[in-house]
Structure 1
Amino acid sequence: MSRTWTSVRSLLPGRADYRVLRTSWRSDLLAGITVGIVALPLALAFGVSSGAGAAAGLITAIVAGLVAAVFGGSNVQVSGPTGAMVVVLAPIVVSHGVGAVVVVSVLAGVIVLLGGLLRLGRTVSYLPWPVIEGFTVGIGVIIFLQQIPAAVGASATGRSTNSAVAAIESVAAADWPAALLPIAAVVAVAVVMLSLGRVSGRLPASFIAIVVVTLASLVFALPLATIGALPHSLPLPAFPVVEMGSLASLVGPAFAVAALAAIESLLSARVAASMADTGPYNPDRELVGQGLASIASGFFGGMPATGAIARTAVNVRSGARTRASAIVHSLALLAVVYLAANVVAVIPLAALSGVLIVTAARMISPTMIKQVLRSTRSDAIVFVVTALITVSFDLIIAVGIGIGVAAFFALRALSTASGVRREELPGDPAVGDERIALFRIDGSLFFGAAERLLDRISSHRGIEVVIVRLSQLQLVDATGAHTLAELVTALERRGVTVLIKGIRPEHLQLLDRLGVIGSLRHPNHLFAELDPAIAHARSHIARSHTARSSVPRVGDATA
């Protein structure tokens, strides 16, 4: 009972989350305000880009950011709407409407929450690095393409769910040369952000760029589309209304959103833990916190949330030490809703597109791409395949296929590293040694290598005794054990005596259950050491030779 309570307690908030707050509250407060300033344009931009609206993005940053900060497993993680989530949500909005986002948010939150309760947090460590970088590059490309309609002043509504096709259609449908004005706003934002980034990494470049372009738009009365009216307060929480017929069609998208939320949040938390000495993160609690965050966001009319790597990095660099900074970030955004909604409403949509275009460009690191492409051929293939499928089809499908391709190359490498080697019998040679074969199986005996390896043993002829050394066998699965049992049975059926030496304790139960030991001619054909096995094989050869010598030959005088 105490162990169960300890396990549950590790997933809940506690006083330990704020043990250093007494000394760090000033830096946490400053970091939270800084992250809030950085998060404001991103929250608005991601909300608009997803199709759910700027208000949904802002609500998500406030509600989900607060809930994830309190219940999540990282002390410095900042959560909210992210570019990767926009990539998944935009097609959902096109196919099912804006109202589906709220339902998907709640469903995905429940799935992520269950993942945390089932202790699935460590599974993200199984994602290969080329897969992670591949879909990161793909996400960057898609975010860039998604901004093209707003950048040229054309709506993507009713167009293709594929971002590349929608971008082409938007450019074709744009009102030229009037489209040059929003393009100029995008360029201005990009120039300001990149220039300030070179001056100091601590400046809220996106916030300043949006202020500059918005002021220019107001002063010169530029005809740029704006965000429009925002609510002056948070809406009351409400349970999403959905018809049962449409609910079934949203289950698949909800699982896709949940998978992305879990992957991105755990990756962000892991990066945060490596950036600062603020304590380790709890991956299972992180899933619980993110699940609750998306559920709460859905109840308030927001979007699914994830941990945000960029905002988390700003939080850490600004001196955050506890989760209080992420809480302050949400409260700062809440103050914007109540105090500055009218000001935010006049921000040009093209300015938000400029912020996301720069964000997308920063996600694509030429140095990282060179590193992956120069690593190994298999890793380069995994990276390219994942990136291409992400852009062409779907992010979750891309991750699945990327993992599958990586697994194929890993299994091929593992199979190649495994082998069967015939060894010379140690010590002085004895009569009949040529009829004894000593084989050593190295590496792994699993479904990808078992049949190929064991075929090499069974192909030897003129042998009366086979000794199989398993002490160097590192891995064996059910297929390998079953194939080994079939080999022993086949050799014994041919009159070849099989001796097995050195079964490791961790493999003994599996080999016994699948009939390897039972297929031996006699229980004493199982040995722990090599010398007794060789002595037994030589005695067997000697007895066989004596038996053959005592058989009368046709034509002998004794016949």
Structure 2
Amino acid sequence: MSSRTRRYLSQFIPKLATALHEGYGWRELRADTVAGLTVAIVALPLAMALAIASGTTPEKGLYTAIIAGFLISALGGSRVQVGGPTAAFIPVVFVVIERFGFGGLVLCTLLAGLMLIAAGLLRLGTLMKYMPQPVITGFTAGIAVSIFSSQVKDALGLRMEAVPAEFIPRWTAYAQHIATTQPATVALTVLGLAVIFGLRRWKPAWPGFLVALLACTFAALALALPAETIGSRFGALPSALPGFQVPHIPLERTLELLPSAFTIAFLAGVESLLSAVVADGMTGGRHRSNGELVAQGVANVGSALFGGLPATGAIARTATNIRAGARSPVAGMLHAAFLLLFMLALAPLMRYVPLPALAAVLLVVAWNMSEHQHFRHTLSAPWGDRLVLLLTFGLTVFFDLTVAIQAGLALATVVFMLRMAESVEVSSGEYGDDRAAGTRDDDETQRLHLPRGVEAYQISGPLFFGAADRLDNLLDQLAIDPPKVLILRMRLVPIIDASGVHSLENLARRCARHGIALVVSGLQPQPDRVLAGMGFGAAHAQVRFASDFEHALRLAAPLADAGTHPPPAQGSAE
């Protein structure tokens, strides 16, 4: 096996194998057991609440946390990552279930898992970190608003049928049924919120979500409050995992579900790698991004085959795992095992949990997810970032998460292109150094006396499609008194693309038509390779290439005196 193949395969070695290879004893197992139990206590109410908010039954969330959580930890590229269902999926999962039923979601999750596996094998994990922050903040805040709006019915106890998926129709329906608000339900929601925020302030080490569920359940039973519970809406929870089942995949349905599957894969990839980065910052470790994507894909395929929901790395649960003392991926695997034990042992009792308590949990999740401080901070950024943020946020809330991500990325690309184009300058190149335009100091930089009939221009910045028109306008500036020789200084051009080469070719042809000799100086390695590879030197043999500006001046002087084109150059760009 070649060294290149070994390096490629090493990206997919699970951190579990690394941890066991380094040595794993009773001390590590004891720490991982405590951490796994702590995270399981936090994940138990969250898994059920997230499933209900997604439009399905609570046991689906538990299945996902158990199966996907185990696989993510066992196969993943992060040492302490904890996976399972997360709030980011709620809007897209809710819409898929409403349009295609739960069977459609199973197929969608399976497709998303296959996409993640392919992305990892193609080593796209390293590209995820280049996601524009305004896009992430925009759709994260938009998801938080969507989660909040989805919980109003259960938080107030409104007597209404199915909640519309769209934002405006949903709030219109709430307004029409606001008179059906149930005081007992509101009281339980307030109690749940008070317990969570109170413990967060005075007892931050306590599992606030679980304590809030217990407090609301005891209050509802003791006071016989007429609040809807898990049992009254969904019946008794099953006390066993579902059987393995390969879903039927009709081609026409697959094509319909591809956009939603891509959105789920995108969210799973971004959130899992963000969570892994947070874990690295807390532990000082380093995750394997491509291996993590493959593990996320396998976990989503496994969740789909057992009737679960989409899954990804959960930032809050991962941070809890680290703070509880996790040493290895065994902690995440034990978290899944403890959840399985809870489900088997406590399934008969979970039917008494009031839905307002779960609504309170998700209202807090929405508040945490909104990142309101980061949102406000981004609003103070340059206009392009603000526009990307607001567009992504608005489309996420009012339209569709898939459209929001696509539009946000497209706008962020346009903004980046405009900024890069603005950074490119074509300025007078009659100075003795190669500083970028706008940074020269006349006291320090000597102005050169160019030979008569010679003009020099300097390009600074990447010469790509967004800035290629700068060269097209260059000869227009010289139309009144055209020089005999034009020196194009390119030492400050780090990269060039096909559009930049095309503009150079246009410039060379226009120079030839006007009898102007063209000398290109100071090519950096990438532009030199691209020009040679695209045959620029061969196609325009009259163009001369100089290693630096002094060399270009030596070439220009006799050409200016002769007033004619130079003889054909040998070879291509240097």
TM-score under structure 2 normalisation? Answer: 0.90
Higher mean C-alpha displacement, 51-60 vs 513-522: 513-522
1:532 correspondence with 2:539? no
Residue in 1 that maps onto 2:404: 398
> How far does residue 346 in structure 1 lie from its aligned partner after superposition?
1.3
Residue in 1 that maps onto 2:222: 219
Q: How does 1:274-313 map to 2 (within 5 A)?
A: 274-277=281-284, 279-313=285-319
Residue in 1 that maps onto 2:514: 494
Structure 2 Cα separation of the partners of residues 196 and 512 of structure 1? 67
- What do residues 73-126 of structure 1 show as CA deviations (whole Å, max 9, x unaligned)? 111111111101112100111111122222212121111111111111112111
Of residues 60, 74, 77 in structure 2, which corresponds to 1:70?
74
3-state SS of 1:97 partner: helix
Structure 1 Cα separation of the partners of residues 203 and 431 of structure 2? 71
Of residues 166, 172, 181 in structure 1, which corresponds to 2:170?
166
Choose 1 or 2 for highest CA Rg.
1
1:192 correspondence with 2:195? yes
> How far does residue 4 in structure 1 lie from its aligned partner after superposition?
2.2
Structure 1 Cα separation of the partners of residues 179 and 244 of structure 2? 41
Residue in 2 that maps onto 1:317: 323
The answer (yes or no) to whether the contact 1:458–1:487 under 8 Å persists in 2 is no
Structure 2 Cα separation of the partners of residues 541 and 191 of structure 1? 84
Structure 2 Cα separation of the partners of residues 471 and 29 of structure 1? 59
> How far does residue 12 in structure 1 lie from its aligned partner after superposition?
3.5
- What do residues 444-475 of structure 1 show as CA deviations (whole Å, max 9, x unaligned)? 11101111244134431321110111111112
Aligned-residue sequence identity (percent) comes to: 34
Q: 1:520 to 1:534 in 2, by over 3 A?
A: farther
Q: How does 1:197-346 map to 2 (within 5 A)?
A: 197-228=200-231, 229-277=236-284, 279-346=285-352
**Structure 2: where are the runs of 5+ without partners?**
433-445, 565-574
Residue in 1 that maps onto 2:437: none
Structure 2 Cα separation of the partners of residues 456 and 313 of structure 1? 56
The one-letter amino acid paired with 2:217 is T
Structure 1 Cα separation of the partners of residues 227 and 447 of structure 2? 93
Moved over 6 A (4+): 427-430
> How far does residue 168 in structure 1 lie from its aligned partner after superposition?
3.3
3-state SS of 1:107 partner: helix
Structure 2 Cα separation of the partners of residues 515 and 450 of structure 1? 18
Q: 1:156 to 1:60 in 2, by over 3 A?
A: farther
Residue in 2 that maps onto 1:8: 9
Residue in 2 that maps onto 1:553: none
The answer (yes or no) to whether the contact 1:74–1:282 under 8 Å persists in 2 is yes
The answer (yes or no) to whether the contact 1:51–1:98 under 8 Å persists in 2 is no
Of residues 463, 470, 482 in structure 2, which corresponds to 1:452?
470
- What do residues 398-426 of structure 1 show as CA deviations (whole Å, max 9, x unaligned)? 22222222222222121111111113376
The one-letter amino acid paired with 2:17 is R
Q: How does 1:482-521 map to 2 (within 5 A)?
A: 482-521=502-541
3-state SS of 2:157 partner: coil
- What do residues 519-544 of structure 1 show as CA deviations (whole Å, max 9, x unaligned)? 54536x21113223212222122223
- What do residues 456-506 of structure 1 show as CA deviations (whole Å, max 9, x unaligned)? 344313211101111111121110111111111111111111111112222
3-state SS of 1:304 partner: coil
Structure 2 Cα separation of the partners of residues 157 and 460 of structure 1? 73
Q: How does 1:81-96 map to 2 (within 5 A)?
A: 81-96=85-100
The answer (yes or no) to whether the contact 2:35–2:325 under 8 Å persists in 1 is yes
Q: How does 1:399-478 map to 2 (within 5 A)?
A: 399-424=405-430, 433-461=451-479, 462=481, 463-478=483-498
1:107 correspondence with 2:115? no
1:543 correspondence with 2:562? yes
The answer (yes or no) to whether the contact 1:102–1:303 under 8 Å persists in 2 is yes
Structure 2 Cα separation of the partners of residues 194 and 487 of structure 1? 67
Q: 1:338 to 1:242 in 2, by over 3 A?
A: same
The two structures, once aligned, show a CA RMSD in angstroms of: 2.1
Higher mean C-alpha displacement, 393-402 vs 461-470: 393-402
Structure 2 Cα separation of the partners of residues 356 and 52 of structure 1? 15
The one-letter amino acid paired with 1:385 is L
The answer (yes or no) to whether the contact 1:52–1:101 under 8 Å persists in 2 is no
> How far does residue 259 in structure 1 lie from its aligned partner after superposition?
1.4
> How far does residue 196 in structure 1 lie from its aligned partner after superposition?
0.5
Q: 1:246 to 1:506 in 2, by over 3 A?
A: closer
Q: How does 1:33-72 map to 2 (within 5 A)?
A: 33-72=37-76
Structure 2 Cα separation of the partners of residues 258 and 533 of structure 1? 53
Residue in 2 that maps onto 1:382: 388
1:358 correspondence with 2:373? no
> How far does residue 382 in structure 1 lie from its aligned partner after superposition?
1.8
The one-letter amino acid paired with 1:359 is V
Structure 1 Cα separation of the partners of residues 525 and 120 of structure 2? 33
Structure 2 Cα separation of the partners of residues 53 and 61 of structure 1? 14
The one-letter amino acid paired with 1:237 is F
TM-score under structure 1 normalisation? Answer: 0.92
The answer (yes or no) to whether the contact 1:87–1:139 under 8 Å persists in 2 is yes
1:153 correspondence with 2:157? yes
Task: Give the number of aligned pairs.
Answer: 541
Residue in 2 that maps onto 1:17: 19
3-state SS of 1:139 partner: helix
Higher mean C-alpha displacement, 488-497 vs 243-252: 243-252
Q: 1:307 to 1:163 in 2, by over 3 A?
A: farther
> How far does residue 513 in structure 1 lie from its aligned partner after superposition?
3.5
Q: 1:399 to 1:533 in 2, by over 3 A?
A: same
Q: 1:242 to 1:220 in 2, by over 3 A?
A: farther
The answer (yes or no) to whether the contact 2:430–2:447 under 8 Å persists in 1 is no
The answer (yes or no) to whether the contact 1:94–1:158 under 8 Å persists in 2 is no
3-state SS of 2:537 partner: coil
The one-letter amino acid paired with 2:491 is S
Q: 1:425 to 1:88 in 2, by over 3 A?
A: closer
3-state SS of 1:352 partner: helix
Structure 1 Cα separation of the partners of residues 202 and 44 of structure 2? 21
Of residues 20, 27, 33 in structure 1, which corresponds to 2:31?
27
- What do residues 184-242 of structure 1 show as CA deviations (whole Å, max 9, x unaligned)? 21111111100110013221101100100001111122222111211111112111235
Of residues 127, 134, 158 in structure 1, which corresponds to 2:131?
127
The answer (yes or no) to whether the contact 1:94–1:157 under 8 Å persists in 2 is no
The answer (yes or no) to whether the contact 2:429–2:489 under 8 Å persists in 1 is no
3-state SS of 2:69 partner: helix
Q: 1:146 to 1:239 in 2, by over 3 A?
A: same
The answer (yes or no) to whether the contact 2:160–2:177 under 8 Å persists in 1 is no
3-state SS of 1:329 partner: helix
Structure 1 Cα separation of the partners of residues 152 and 171 of structure 2? 6
The answer (yes or no) to whether the contact 2:141–2:372 under 8 Å persists in 1 is no
